[in-house]
Amino acid sequence: MGVKVSGVAALSWILAASVAAVGGVLLGNISAIDTSMLDIGVRAFAVVLLGGLESLSGAILAGLLIGVVETVAAAYLDPYVGGGIRDVAAFAILLIALLVRPYGFFGWKRIERI
């Protein structure tokens, strides 16, 4: 039909980024912006990567897993390392999991044939 798939994909990413930026600006005007929002965003990024970019159920499972790991690590390992292990635990789990499954728990394994 003459429609370039790569052009449509690029346009959809541009539209999604634009709508997300506008939504972020509007939400920022409604609620106060503080530095704790960065921690939530970075942890959410780790959860989505761990669960798989294509899977909502994977993101839910990864969120629960990271929450439990952070809490257990803060409870048992903080006295030995001097605190702050809660912030590092999510990324340690993410690093280990992405070494084993680079596409996340429930992500799609892409097979490209040339």
**Alpha-carbon Rg for the chain in angstroms:** 18
| Residue 9 pLDDT | 93
Residues 95-108 as b or e (16 or more Cβ within 10 Å = b): eebeeeeebbbbbe
Chain centroid to Cα 102, Å, comes to 13
> To the nearest whole number, what is the mean pLDDT of the chain?
86
Please give the structure tokens belonging to residue 45.
């990024």
Give residue-wise pLDDT tens across range 9-63. 999 999 999 999 999 888 888 877 777 777 888 888 889 988 888 888 888 999 9
Q: Are 105 and 52 in contact (CB under 8 A)?
A: yes
- Within a 13 Å sphere around the CA of 79, how many CA atoms are in the beta-carbon half? 3
pLDDT at residue 105 is higher than 90: no
Predicted pLDDT at 90: 85
